[in-house]
Amino acid sequence: DAKTTQPNSMESNEEEPVHLPCNHSTISGTDYIHWYRQLPSQGPEYVIHGLTSNVNNRMASLAIAEDRKSSTLILHRATLRDAAVYYCILIDNYGQNFVFGPGTRLSVLP
């Protein structure tokens, strides 16, 4: 099963951009890259996903490396409410391999 690796924790200042990296060197051609985040005392929530091209939505941007072996979630202006654990996972075209690792705990400093 394709796995992802992320830093355990990162820190950012409020209103600055945040780049959260994810390595997935064993990704297959049909794997989608999904990002979720989990706020304290809540279930994970969807942030963004992509296959090959970079993606933007109202929450964040997803930059996918050309070889697809890594990706970066970009929060353009971090707020205190963005403090959460961020998970990068791979889901294949059959909808399987949805393995959540420990994720990256993002702290946002005022």
Q: What residues line the site for another protein (CB under 8 A)?
A: 30-32, 34, 36, 41-46, 49, 51, 87, 91-96, 98-103
Q: How many angstroms separate the CA atoms of 9 and 109, rounded?
A: 13
> What's the closest the beta carbon of residue 19 comes to another protein, in angstroms?
21
Q: In the block, which residue shows the tokens 């070889």?
A: 67
Name which of 47 and 75 has its Cβ closer to another protein.
47
Name which of 50 and 70 has its Cβ closer to another protein.
50
Name which of 42 and 67 has its Cβ closer to another protein.
42
Q: How many angstroms separate the CA atoms of 63 and 33, rounded?
A: 10
Burial class (CB in 10 A: 0-12, 13-18, 19+), 20: buried
